[in-house]
Structure 1
Amino acid sequence: MSESYALGVDVGTQGLKVVVYSISTHELVKKAGVAYDITKTTIPGRAEQDPQVWISGTVTAIAEALNGLDRSCVKALAVSGQQHGLVVLGEGDKVLRPAKLWCDTESAAEAEELSAKFGWKLVPSFTITKLLWLQRHEPDTYAAVRSVLLPHDYVNWWLTGRKIMELGDASGTGVLDVEGRRWDTAAMDAVDTRLRELFPPLVDSPDQAIGTVRPEVAAQLGLPPGVLVAPGSGDNAMSALGAGAATDGATVISLGTSGTIFAKSPTAILDPTGVICPFCDATGNYLPLLCTLNCTRVLEEVREAFGLDHETLTELAEADASGPGCGGVTWLPYLIGERTPCWPHASGALLGLRPGCLRPGLLYRAAMEGATLSLLAGFRSMVAAGLRPGAQLRLVGGGAKNRLWKQIVADAFGMEVVLPAEPDSAALGAALQAAAVLEGVSVSDYVTQHRPPMLGQVLKPNPAHRSAYDRALARFEAQAQQLFGRA
């Protein structure tokens, strides 16, 4: 049997990753990555990137991933992408300005205005708030807009020449009727009737290709002609596939630049408070999700402040006498404002300090606990809204590699934690989707039949720590509300 490969491309905030998946053995063959960053700025709340960075990263990472492999074996690929980002194209499909990213909070005022119009709480991450901001603050650029795309759509357009949007990613625009799985034209019209022409059509099916790689792009990438391009999706929907979350209630926590929790659901969970995002998934079902803006970056602050590496800081945190709950020290981790709760103007705060508390180990643990408690507060809202989670949490992202943080998550949530063997779950999910489309199998069935492997380790919650984390969560929520108001 001849070899066939599916490529998974994940366009992230801080870098781009590519995995090569063998369709015959159902294993990863190779992977590669390219690092980049948000454009540096002194403007508060601004977070932007040049879309060309994603294209250059795709070219470089695919070349590295396929080095030494038979490129003629590549048959399909799919793209996962950071969600919400606003990419605007003008005449001749020229990029008019840098993309405003999910973590850009300049549109906070527009988010408040649209929340009142739409009757549900939008956070500044949603694409439509950024588009209204553009209309207000850069009217000449807005007038020149001819197409609106999301980051993964832009890469798909470059690959295939086709402008189209997939439901899971489109859920983050703020103008998708999630239950009806169609554009909410009334919401579009509330901003500008022209938006009906600017947003592309929606993908018909998550199980069908959207096209093939254009010949000139195939030549640039060194790929054979006719490589299928699957729809792709937002990074969270792709991460769910890569973590094997194919059954109802399967729950994933991602500890990355942002912190996210999402779970597969047969029905949409609609939350007018905006804490829970009622997203579609990449299989034709739903993926209720919540996202925090401050996760691994909080630990980076400690690393940079003390000039110590993460392993040393972890050892110090494990040895620190403060233990679970950090002896009453609370780190509210809102360094760049916060999305969940919607506090775009919030800031980070260290509370409960006593003499001798500024120890690197204690602060490192407090950073982990602060990011974790922020997610836990949101998770309890998801359960209250009707989510029925499974018994285990699948933990992914860069933070999932830290042994102490994994145990903190298990203890704070009171649930077993399992670890997908492949940490780059979004890229793997994209490859699985591409393989399913190539094989003519539904994405859900393919992931169920070829479930990604888990590491043998299962972290069980320590019952002795439960009360400490219950008190820590109550303290965390009360202090956050005192400083920044009720969500």
Structure 2
Amino acid sequence: MGYDIRHAILNGKTSLGIEFGSTRIKAVLIGEDYSTIASGSFEWENSYVDHIWTYSLKDIWSGLQDCYQKMASEVKSRYGVPLQTIGAIGFSGMMHGYMVFNEVGEQLVPFRTWRNNITEQASSILTDLFNYHIPQRWSIAHLYQAILNQEEHINQINFQTTLAGYIHWKLTGQKVLGIGEASGVFPIDLMTKKFSANMIEKFNQLIKDRELSWKLENILPEVLVAGENGGVLSEEGARLLDISGELMAGIPICPPEGDAGTGMVATNSIAERTGNVSAGTSVFAMVVLEKELSKVYAEIDLVTTPTGSLVAMAHSNNCTSDLNAWVGLFDEFAKVLGQNIDKNQLYNTLYNLALQGDPDGGGLLAYGYLSGEHITHFEEGRPLFVRTSNSNFNLANFMRTHLFTSLGALKIGMDILLQQENAKLEKILGHGGFFKTEGVGQKIMAAALNVPVSVMESAGEGGAWGIALLASYMIEKEKNETLDDYLTTKIFAEKAGKTILPEQKDVNGFDVFMQRYKQGLAIERAAVEYL
């Protein structure tokens, strides 16, 4: 590296990002070249208590402290100095959910995470009221469902926030959210970059007869955009974060952001006409829009970038799980024959074979629905493979079909954006396990979306790195320097990546497959009903 890391640590020329994911809390400390100096992580799992998916406050704090200590210990062991100051810090977390507190800061009910599908009634009523899609996992849906349920705690609410917002509040005393995170709490007014005052008034009128002690605007956090100051680490916050007592107070902290926003930053996809797609167990694509959609779509969620630009998200519950199960079956077959094949070699061989198949997959059809799929309106799923007597049934087509169907539901959602709404998408950046075999996942994704697909070496850095970059931007930005300019010129200018353009025969083949996919949904429906 071209600078003295030890000097950077001692002089606070660093930024720290900590992200609370669904299975891991991760801390990443970056230096002056924005690469990772040290990291630490803590594995955790949600609990299902009284029919609610939750994480306890005890686990939240012990996990945060554990991953911070591991990162700080790595700093000390590698560079021989204690971590006493940091240039800036940022916190990120799973979006949405429900965390409410009374006037003395006590939690009123256990944290209800995004995973809970218990707000269908509220989601439907609010979507109609606002003429704006309010998914079940959004914080406002949880609040209104609690009101509809006449839960005892409702009248005691003094503050509602998200997981990242809660951590930030406890460490700084500031009740704020980054705009990307806030956009999954309540709809944003794109002009003011604040919660929609018009929709807040509609909500207050909706609950007027409940005679509650609060109005919505008084219990929600303040909305901030990237680059604004979110406060500083308090003395109490420093002791909460670093139980060793070495970290000093007064460190600037950027607005807390959601995992969608930090993923956009980590993949440099916050500019209009760009997007990113994460494909693994599930798959979701986010596209930064130039204008609002013409109407409400149940298949499309609307959030924002950390700078407040509108983002459309298409999310599919199922992607590679069934595909991985088939690869596992081939692995088992090889072992029966006495062949112990390396898993990476097996994936590489089978995935690359898919590129030799017929453009449409040879007339084969599959659905990888291990679980339900909201885009195609399935509450449950059944993995399924179907062929006719005249299909071209060979291994190349079999693999191609399963790669195609991994993106089938996503394709339906993206077609709404790209074809019905004519949203412009010039490039998309891919990350996740679907892209691990070089070139194959990219080529299939390019065929599905008919746009160039890039994969960067840094795409695996993740959201903790993304929030560390947002912390850096807050303290380093020059006058009038946008986040897009900052990322493009300072962070990603030297990052290597590979782009694959869509080939017309593959695009046409995927379209033929999708006709078969849509027509065959009745088969999947029958499987759910009879199996």
Quickly say closer, same or farther: Cα 1:414–1:98, change in 2 above 3 A.
same
Does 1:58 find its partner at 2:64? yes
> Contact between 2:85 and 2:251, CA under 8 Å: does it hold in 1?
no
Matching residue of 2:500: 459
Matching residue of 2:484: 444
Q: 1:363 Cα deviation (Å)?
A: 8.1
Quickly say closer, same or farther: Cα 1:143–1:218, change in 2 above 3 A.
same
Quickly say closer, same or farther: Cα 1:204–1:459, change in 2 above 3 A.
closer
Unmatched tracts of structure 2, length 5 or more:
76-80, 209-213, 333-341, 527-531
Does 1:424 find its partner at 2:461? yes
1:173 partner SS: coil
Work out which of the residue numbers 221, 226, 245 in structure 1 matches 2:250: 226
Distance 1:414 1:164 in 2: 39
Does 1:350 find its partner at 2:374? no
How does 1:111-190 map onto structure 2 within 5 Å?
Answer: 111-137=123-149, 139-183=151-195, 184-189=199-204
Greater mean alpha carbon deviation, residues 7-16 or residues 455-464:
455-464
Matching residue of 1:15: 24
Distance 2:393 2:60 in 1: 40
Greater mean alpha carbon deviation, residues 197-206 or residues 414-423:
197-206
Work out which of the residue numbers 207, 214, 225 in structure 2 matches 1:192: 207
C-alpha distance after superposition, 1:14-67 (max 9, x if no partner): 222222221x22323233332222324795xx6433354343332222222333
Greater mean alpha carbon deviation, residues 208-217 or residues 363-372:
363-372
Work out which of the residue numbers 407, 425, 428 in structure 2 matches 1:389: 425
Which letter maps to 2:429? R
Matching residue of 2:472: 435
Matching residue of 1:376: 411
Distance 1:36 1:359 in 2: 42
Q: 1:282 Cα deviation (Å)?
A: 0.9
Q: 1:430 Cα deviation (Å)?
A: 0.9
Quickly say closer, same or farther: Cα 1:328–1:186, change in 2 above 3 A.
farther
How does 1:14-413 map onto structure 2 within 5 Å?
Answer: 14-22=23-31, 24-40=32-48, 47-69=53-75, 70=81, 71-137=83-149, 139-183=151-195, 184-189=199-204, 191-193=206-208, 194-196=214-216, 199-219=219-239, 220-221=241-242, 222-256=246-280, 258-269=282-293, 271-295=295-319, 311=344, 312=346, 315-316=349-350, 318-319=352-353, 327-340=362-375, 343=377, 345-352=379-386, 368-383=403-418, 384-390=420-426, 392-403=427-438, 404-413=440-449
Taking structure 2 as the reference length, the TM-score comes to 0.78
2:16 partner SS: strand
Q: 1:81 Cα deviation (Å)?
A: 2.0
Distance 2:325 2:206 in 1: 39
Distance 1:413 1:112 in 2: 30
Distance 1:47 1:95 in 2: 16
Quickly say closer, same or farther: Cα 1:324–1:156, change in 2 above 3 A.
farther
Which letter maps to 1:7? L
Unmatched tracts of structure 1, length 5 or more:
none
Quickly say closer, same or farther: Cα 1:153–1:366, change in 2 above 3 A.
farther
Q: 1:162 Cα deviation (Å)?
A: 1.8
User: Identical aligned pairs, as a percentage?
Assistant: 18
C-alpha distance after superposition, 1:311-333 (max 9, x if no partner): 34564455579776555454444
Q: 1:304 Cα deviation (Å)?
A: 8.1
Q: 1:231 Cα deviation (Å)?
A: 0.7
Greater mean alpha carbon deviation, residues 433-442 or residues 213-222:
213-222
Distance 2:320 2:436 in 1: 11
Q: 1:434 Cα deviation (Å)?
A: 0.4
Q: 1:228 Cα deviation (Å)?
A: 1.1
Distance 2:142 2:522 in 1: 27
Distance 1:367 1:39 in 2: 33
* Equivalent residues, number: 480
Which letter maps to 1:192? I
> Contact between 2:225 and 2:306, CA under 8 Å: does it hold in 1?
no
> Contact between 1:81 and 1:151, CA under 8 Å: does it hold in 2?
yes
2:520 partner SS: helix
Distance 2:382 2:157 in 1: 36
Greater mean alpha carbon deviation, residues 3-12 or residues 420-429:
420-429
Taking structure 1 as the reference length, the TM-score comes to 0.84
Q: Which has the larger radius of gyration?
A: 2
